[in-house]
Amino acid sequence: MGEKKTTPITVNDVEYKLEDMTDEQRTIVSHIQDLGRKIDSTKFNLDQLQVGQNAFVNMLTLQLESEDVAGNDEDATFEEVN
């Protein structure tokens, strides 16, 4: 028979075996892992949102600059975008 695999968990530079932990400790580890995934996903979504926002700011800037070049200088009030 093969050896039983263990899952190492490192906390504060100390390695523990998941299989030796209590049910409550394993639940805490699961929460930590799930929160890590959610944080990574949120960072990914934030990156997408920031790129999208920058794209729209650039689109608006190009349109406003092209109006200025064309001599179409209308008085308009805009909130600060960035």
What are the pLDDT tens digits along the chain (82 aa)? 567 889 999 999 999 999 999 999 999 999 999 999 999 999 999 999 999 999 999 999 999 999 888 875 455 555 666 6
What is the structure's pLDDT at 20? Answer: 95
The answer to whether the pTM exceeds 0.95 is no
7 — phi, psi (to 5°)? Answer: -110, 110
Within 13 Å, how many C-alpha atoms sit on residue 49's CB side?
6
